[in-house]
Structure 1
Amino acid sequence: MQGNRFFCSFSLLILLLAVAFGHGRAHGGGGFVTTNGTGFVMNGRPFYSNGFNAYWLMYMASDPAGRSKVSSAFQQASSHGMKVVRTWAFSDGGHKALQCSPGSYDENMFQGLDFVISEARKYGVYLILSLVNNHEDFGGKRQYVRWARDEGRSTGSDDDFFQNDVVKSFYKNHVKTILTRNNTMTGMAYRDDPTIFAWELINEPRCQSDLSGRILQDWITEMAAYVKSIDSRHLLEVGAEGFYGDSIFGRKQFNPGGCEVGTDFIANNQIPEIDFATIHAYPDQCCKEFNIQQSVMMTCTQHVFRSNNICYIQSSTEQWMTAKCHAVCAQPPQGLSPEHCEQIQIIITYINSLYTVLTPLVSKPIVKPTCGCINI
């Protein structure tokens, strides 16, 4: 969902810890994290993921004066038992760009990302790094198409990002540049760094010029294979919001407003190189008065839990619901605005509703979650 994102965390990014689709691994500090049935495993033991979304980390860390805020976020996250943080590994064109033009990078911005990874490692936090934006914020697919047009290539809509060979070559070059980057602070290539939990192909992909979903399905298939050809050790996910497509009859009724965006939650996550699924939920924006039983988020979660003879439902769901849910607020210590307080209350209501609905899906009691804020 485009619109207001309340800085970093109120998108309420949900990782489906019960993974029904892939099987991969990420090299963590204690060994490789693998997907096994419905959960993550490290060294033969369940690995439970909980955390938050903070797109701004590289942007903030590119200025040495702002790095203390990044350190504070990781320190507080670690102290609250949070293990995974999702952030951007892109900023394409425009102000404070990482990639100024195709293949041309700003070293100061890159060293900001180096710092983010180094600090996450210091505090025992894993990172999900997103590689491009579907939306125009921080460049996105629109900037890629514009770059191709500036080179005299024939392009139409922003959705040419998924089909134009030149644009796809720009994206592949960015992927390779990120994955093979040698961190100036750790001396380790990103693709070899256990701090990185997973790569994300694109933030919230949509291809509304093809509602059948075939174009985006082909793009995910191609790019997932490309990422794995460079780095087979880290996990990989799409970055999709969770909209249903045509792969399962009747499921599109659960999409918010009956919306179709050219994605297919089931088919997109059945691609062999995709290791786990994600859902993006924005209850502060679209769910002020919602029926949690009818929401796409709940439907997707139940679908994952109940399909394919899943056998590890209870452990991953159970731990996810025992973790405290914290909202990371880039707000001054003196407090939050009334609007932000209202949004926090909506999030709390939403989480409590999830607790109510998910409890019958597991065989052991779930500890009711609590909510709070981390001020940085």
Structure 2
Amino acid sequence: MDDHRTPAAPLFRRLTVLGGLFLAALAMSCAVPAMAAAPSSGFVKVEGTGFVIDGKPYRFAGANFWYGAYLGAPDGLGDRARLLAELDQLQAAGIDNLRVLAMSEASDFKRGVRPAIMTAPGQYDERLLQGLDFLLAEMSKRDMKAVLYLNNFWQWSGGMSQYVAWATGDSVSTHDPDLTGDWNGFMDNSARFYGIGQAQLWYRDAIRTVITRTNTITSVPYVDDPTVMSWQLANEPRPGSDADGHDTFPEYRAWVNDTAAFIRKLAPRQLVSTGSEGGKGSLDDEDLFIIAHATPNVDYLTFHLWPSNWSWMDHHDPAARMDTGLATSLAYIDRHIDIANKLGMPIVLSEFGLNRDKGSYDPASSVTARDQFYRAIYARLLERASAGDAIAGSNFWAWGGRGRTTNTDWMWKAGDPFTGDPPQEAQGLFSLFDSDASTLEIVSAHARAMRALP
């Protein structure tokens, strides 16, 4: 997708001034603990610029595993044998934090996932919710933590644009970027979601349905399950396109604050995060990223890193501009960690990835450039964490495990095995497969190094 830099509008400058007031309020809120620490709770908590579990530092090298609930579904819909084998493989590698899709919406998007958890407003597929139950139960056995996101700015799981379609009666095909090629128009349509009251009511019903659920396998309410580290508002929520998102930024900022407060009230022992990409997802303006997150209702920051999507590296040959692409990527990491230091909050690099060599999708192809990229990213994260900075963990995008496609166009179709790449992308674009031994060892070594820090 295209990302275009837009000069700051006067509204932005006014918000930057107002942001100072929000930062002051945030600093005051961070100085006073929201609640007393529960002894031996097993819940992840924020302490200063880091995470702790029962008073001990918690730093992690994790994975995105968006389809985990799908694999966990019963009645032949999922693949529980595959899920168990892959959780065992991840655990053996020291990967103990998984970022998972917890709500999808039925849609007519060309590249939308099928089936969906929400079949219509207020209606949910119990089989997929039981899949989430099964996933959490098995993660608990392996002492893993889950980050669960409750919506999506993008089309591949229905997401915000589907809420807009339900509320307005518009057809999603009008704004389907896989049909129109108009990504800016799609983003601005998705951002309408923040200002539609009926859409917000349906969204809150979805949030309540998941968060207040009792696990059918363990009989433990989700809110009492320390396996759940954090609830994320959405996957990569944006104010809109870089060209026009300033118009909806105030609604977006209010949505972040109000939705985070709603979740905190439902799940006071679990953390809340937004799922933001950072500056690139904030109208390409890191000041607006700060302003949007200057609320005591958000416990920690997130950011993502997509150098080939953002034209810092070459999709078709990631080795071609590796040196300059890495330099830009590492500077982006440093700036976001510096922001977290200033705000006194932990930050997580909750998505990053790179293409296979020569842009191949084939799991048998080489990953020399990707391995170089992973090593450099992890080295910088470890360096900053070792210095006591606010970086607390990371989740690579994405675990593809045993998933394979036999489609000649590499695109997912309903009923196909899932990989780490969502249906809008070629299966193999960014997936780390179970056979990618060299990359998995890099992740594993980083996990060991992060845990070894004092």
Interval of TM-score (by shorter of Structure 1 and Structure 2): 0.7 to 0.9
Of the candidates 423, 433, 439, which is equivalent to residue 372 of structure 1?
439
CA distance in 2, matches of 1:28, 1:74: 28
SS in 2 for 1:50: strand
Of the candidates 232, 245, 250, which is equivalent to residue 268 of structure 2?
232
1:126 aligns with 2:178: no
Cα deviation, 1:212-253, whole Å, max 9, x if unaligned, reads 63221100111111111211111000110011xxxxxxxxxx
1:273 aligns with 2:284: no
Aligned length: 321
Overall identity of the aligned pairs, in %: 25
SS in 1 for 2:219: coil
Q: Once the 2 structures are TM-superposed, how far is the Cα of residue 262 of structure 1 from its aligned partner?
A: 10
Given residue 87 of structure 1, which amino acid in structure 2 is its aligned partner?
V
CA distance in 2, matches of 1:239, 1:27: 26
1:205–1:225: structure 2 CA closer, same or farther, 3 Å change rule? Answer: same
Of the candidates 214, 230, 233, which is equivalent to residue 182 of structure 1?
214
CA contact 2:102–2:149 (8 Å) conserved in 1: yes
Of the candidates 203, 208, 213, which is equivalent to residue 235 of structure 2?
203
Q: Once the 2 structures are TM-superposed, how far is the Cα of residue 101 of structure 1 from its aligned partner?
A: 0.3
Cα deviation, 1:330-360, whole Å, max 9, x if unaligned, reads xxxxx8343755434433343345556x389
Equivalence for 1:351: 378
CA distance in 1, matches of 2:329, 2:67: 33
Cα deviation, 1:119-160, whole Å, max 9, x if unaligned, reads 1111110100000000011101011111112399xxx93322
1:90 aligns with 2:103: yes
Of the candidates 146, 150, 158, which is equivalent to residue 139 of structure 1?
158
CA distance in 1, matches of 2:373, 2:120: 40
Root-mean-square deviation over aligned CA pairs: 3.9
- Taking structure 1 as the reference length, the TM-score comes to 0.73
Cα deviation, 1:280-337, whole Å, max 9, x if unaligned, reads 11245444332247732221112323x25x5x9xxx99xx99xxx999x9xxxxx834
Q: Once the 2 structures are TM-superposed, how far is the Cα of residue 259 of structure 1 from its aligned partner?
A: 5.2
SS in 1 for 2:157: coil
CA distance in 1, matches of 2:228, 2:150: 13
CA contact 1:242–1:297 (8 Å) conserved in 2: no
Given residue 46 of structure 1, which amino acid in structure 2 is its aligned partner?
P
1:62 aligns with 2:73: yes
1:264 aligns with 2:288: yes
1:151–1:293: structure 2 CA closer, same or farther, 3 Å change rule? Answer: closer
Query: After alignment, is 164-173 or 204-213 more displaced?
Result: 204-213
CA contact 2:153–2:190 (8 Å) conserved in 1: no
Cα deviation, 1:156-194, whole Å, max 9, x if unaligned, reads 933221011000001000000001112111112212211
Cα deviation, 1:37-70, whole Å, max 9, x if unaligned, reads 1111222222223311111111222255511222
1:242–1:31: structure 2 CA closer, same or farther, 3 Å change rule? Answer: same
Cα deviation, 1:239-279, whole Å, max 9, x if unaligned, reads 10011xxxxxxxxxxx59x9538993212322111111111
